[in-house]
Amino acid sequence: MQLSGKNILGNIESAEGKTTFYANNPATGEALEVAFIEATQAEVDKAVVLAEAAFELYRQKSGVERAEFLDTIAEELAQLESTLVARCTLETGLPEGRLKGELGRTTGQLRLFANLLREGSWVDARIDRANPDRTPVPKPDTRQMQIALGPVGVFGASNFPLAFSVAGGDTASALAAGCPVVVKAHPAHPGTSELVGKAIAKAAEDCNMPNGVFSLVQGAAIAVGQAIVRHPLIKAIGFTGSFRGGKALFDEAARRDEPIPVYAEMGSSNPVFMLPGVIAQNSETLATGLAGSVQLGVGQFCTNPGITIIQNSEHANKFEKELEKQITASESATMLTEAIQNNFASGLESLKSKNKVTSVGKGNQSEGGAQGIAEVLSTTASDFIADKEMEEEVFGPTTLLVKSNNKDEMLQIARNLNGHLTATVHGTPKDLEDYADLLKLLERKVGRLLINAFPTGVEVCHSMVHGGPFPATSDARMTSVGTAAITRFTRPICYQGFPDSLLPEALKEANPLNILRLEDGTYVMPK
């Protein structure tokens, strides 16, 4: 498939702007064909106006129709595998195997939402029937369900160029909810974005979806993104990226005449607590597991374990030695962009310059550009507690080993933590009993709490929470991964006194969609 470098505004390609930019191959530093034409303010406006027009029709499509659309997108993407992976490897430096896996995750995610729509109960239907005889006033018939918010702006992430990008979780859940989507492509992988965008546009046409249900705008300048967030017809924003980027969008949205929700996933250092008993038993396995988790995707996972807290002991020393061995034997790999590699290197330098922080071990530099070399640092619990900066995410293959003297220091670290996406505790059954208070403290800090696992790898399922208290996200009440993500783009409405024929299918008396409903306070199951 030939790239055009143009924006996709509903069913047309558009290139009115004069500013162009190129994708770079991080492995070589070379610019890649073609020139991408940055969207103008008028083009962003056109995309949003089309989305608003599409919304009136799209929100009235049945769940089954929307499910077919999502399945068709998945099908289009699956067919595009080789083209997509080839271009994406060039733009991101990520290996083919990883990208094939990520494509599978992306199509699986779309199909999961399609199945959610076919099942239909996600709308949370609630029915309270009338009682005309109630005194002193008759009881009305009231019925509630979730409906779509309106056009949604989505900002693709750099680190998952498929699963958190143009057809990623934000787009899939917004389209599932009934919201048209205007995606701002991440400038690090504009070609991948165009390929995916065209696949979605084709699926929309094949499924007779209204023109404007999906648009893609390109841009390296922040003005393009700002135009989306400021547009009065945009009703919600999905974003995955840095704290700075996410917080700027949040502030922009709060300043609008009509403030709108912003779901920004803004990074996390995902603390891992290794308890004394399990370190005594499994120091080698744990070190191997941690080293693997730290280096997964060259450390460019939102759930990378950036802080590891241990307690000083002979076994902890063995654990550290093993970790050092694994890391010093590791080979570097290409990071997503030169800028990310630079930030990673300077983040490490800034930590090491603290002189309370030392290097435990560093991997080997391979050939090629933008090499992320794994490195483990260490510090003491008291130094960590005294310096809040050490908690900040360093995006890349690293973890900061924090050595505590006792349980109290571990608890104090947990108590002082900011919000994170995840926290993890490794422990024997006895450890976990002895540290029940640690688990309780961590529960307040994160969206996902793991025992005896590693946080990298976010299962796409009904029960996942990829979210957590600020500053990990801008809205702890939601998740950006898993089926619960759909309610980010909906709101409840109550219909009072409606004749059955005017009610939406989900709320009609005969339950034609055969969904779970709360009827007069009792759950009534689908048949």
- Site residues for a copy of itself, 347-376, by CB under 8 A, read none
- Of the candidate spans 28-36, 276-284, 405-413, 431-439, the one that interacts with a copy of itself by CB under 8 A turns out to be 431-439
303, 81, 54, 226: CA torsion to nearest 10:
50
Decide if residue 388 touches a copy of itself (CB under 8 A): no
- Report d(CA 42, CA 75) in Å as an integer: 32
Residue 389 or 523 with smaller CB distance to a copy of itself: 523
Decide if residue 428 touches a copy of itself (CB under 8 A): no
H or E stretch covering 174: helix 169-177
CB 233 within 8 A of CB 48: yes
Decide if residue 452 touches a copy of itself (CB under 8 A): yes
Residue 350 or 463 with smaller CB distance to a copy of itself: 463
263-to-175, 237, 308 alpha-carbon distances in Å: 15, 6, 28
172-to-114, 230, 488 alpha-carbon distances in Å: 9, 23, 12
Residue 3 or 296 with smaller CB distance to a copy of itself: 296
Sequence letter at residue 311: Q
Decide if residue 457 touches a copy of itself (CB under 8 A): yes
Residue 60 or 350 with smaller CB distance to a copy of itself: 60
- Of the candidate spans 86-94, 196-204, 376-384, 438-446, the one that interacts with a copy of itself by CB under 8 A turns out to be 438-446
For a copy of itself, how many residues bind (rule: CB under 8 A)? 76
Decide if residue 212 touches a copy of itself (CB under 8 A): no
Decide if residue 443 touches a copy of itself (CB under 8 A): yes
Residues with Cβ within 8 Å of 283's Cβ and at least 6 positions away in sequence, in order, are: 315, 316, 318, 319, 322
Decide if residue 232 touches a copy of itself (CB under 8 A): no
Question: Shortest approach of a copy of itself to residue 375 CB, angstroms?
Answer: 26
Per-residue mark of binding to a copy of itself, 123-162 (x: CB under 8 A) = ---xxx-------xx-xx-xxx--x-xx------------
338 is catalytic: no
Q: Which of 43, 252, 302, 391 is catalytic?
A: 302
Per-residue mark of binding to a copy of itself, 51-90 (x: CB under 8 A) = -----x---x------------------------------
388 burial class (0-12, 13-18, 19+ CB within 10 angstroms)?
Answer: exposed
Sequence letter at residue 373: I
CB 177 within 8 A of CB 156: no
- Site residues for a copy of itself, 255-294, by CB under 8 A, read 258-259, 261
Q: How many residues does the chain have?
A: 527
Decide if residue 444 touches a copy of itself (CB under 8 A): yes
Nearest residue to 19 (alpha-carbon basis) of 216, 202, 222: 222
CB 300 within 8 A of CB 334: no
461 is catalytic: no
For the annotated catalytic residues, the residue numbers are 265, 302
